[in-house]
Amino acid sequence: MQYLLRKQIVIICGCLFTALSLQAQSGETFQPDHDDMPYYLGISIGMGYNHLNYERNTFFSPSSSNIANQVLSMNSKNLNLGLTGTLKLTDHFLLRANPMLLIGGSKNVGFTKNSIRDSIDIPSTVISLPLALKLQSDRYNAFHFRNLMRHYVFAGGKADFDLSSSKVATSGLGDAYKALFNGTDLGYEFGLGLSFYLRYVTISPEIKFSYGLSNLKNPNTTELLLNNVNKVNANFVYFTIHLEN
């Protein structure tokens, strides 16, 4: 899924270079007192790509005679909007909360049924509550500006709540599917990013990889589609831009 992010990365880099060219003279340090702040707040916006990972049982093994009925993995896009709150622990370690609302996405399930290939799009509106420990470098010079940027990595856990998990979805074959998945998921995530310290705002583009640990398969579903799938996990790749004070 990572190749889908190239266009967004190129656009953001172009915007950053344009913003830098409009700033003050070379050699000026922006936000020199930022590192002394005990905490800071911001907002975030980005794109996410959702991928369902299936743990199939022997019914779907390549040697099975029932290969005409299979569940396939598919990708789905979503828009993520969020708030950020960062607490300084030391000069290089920080604790960050980034609650997000994932909208416009779905949990896509591809399948073959009686040798006919089809898919269903299950609406998905997710509230994600991640908490991560962030490790950042010292600020360093770039593009002829002093202390302009720093890089960072982070890792932590999350809790996701799908507000649309109980909705009914219909496939192209006319079959209705309801409550295939649970609405609550726990998982872990990690990523990396860059922070650019401009005059009035800090812009931080980042890439994050998120993996669900909970089995999303609803044990109470009566649909035959997932009867021979042992486990379903939701994985995400996010490209996000943080705007912080």
Cβ contacts of 66 within 8 Å, gap of 6 or more = 59, 60
Overall domain count for the chain = 1
**DSSP-derived secondary structure letter, 217:** B
Which pLDDT score is estimated for 117? 73
pLDDT at 205: 96
Q: Is 97 helix (H, G, I), strand (E, B) or coil?
A: strand
Return contacts of 10-16, CB within 8 angstroms, 24+ apart: 12/205, 12/241, 16/196, 16/203, 16/205
Which residues have a Cβ under 8 Å from the Cβ of 30 and sit 6 or more positions away?
A: 23, 24, 145, 147, 148, 197, 198, 199
pLDDT for the residue 91: 93
What's at 110, amino acid-wise? Answer: G
Token pair for residue 148? 């302009």
Return per-residue pLDDT of the chain as tens, 245 residues. Answer: 444 455 555 555 555 555 545 444 556 788 988 989 999 999 999 999 998 888 877 655 554 445 456 777 778 889 999 999 999 999 999 999 999 999 987 777 777 766 677 777 777 889 999 999 999 999 999 888 889 999 999 999 999 999 877 766 666 655 666 777 888 999 999 999 999 999 889 999 999 999 999 998 887 766 666 777 788 899 999 999 999 98
Q: State both tokens at 200.
A: 């009035």
Give the CATH number of the domain where residue 208 resides: 2.40.160.20
Q: With the C-alpha atoms ordered 198, 202, 151, 238, is the resulting torsion angle positive or negative?
A: negative
Residue 69 CA to residue 73 CA, distance in Å, equals 14
Q: What pLDDT shows up at residue 149?
A: 93
CB 80 within 8 A of CB 44: yes
Q: Which residues pair with 151 in a beta bridge?
A: 194
User: Nearest-CA neighbor of 20 among 196, 244, 182?
Assistant: 196
pLDDT score at 25: 52
Residue 22: per-residue pLDDT = 45
Q: CA–CA separation, 125 vs 213, rounded Å? A: 19
Q: How far apart, in whole angstroms, are the C-alpha atoms of residue 162 and residue 171?
A: 20
Domain that holds residue 152: 2-244
| Phi-psi domain of 146 (left: phi exceeds 0; alpha: psi -120 through 50; beta: other) | beta
Can you give the pLDDT at residue 1?
Answer: 47
Q: What are phi and psi of 186, to 5 degrees?
A: -115, 150
- What span, in angstroms and rounded, lies between the C-alpha atoms of 94 and 131? 11
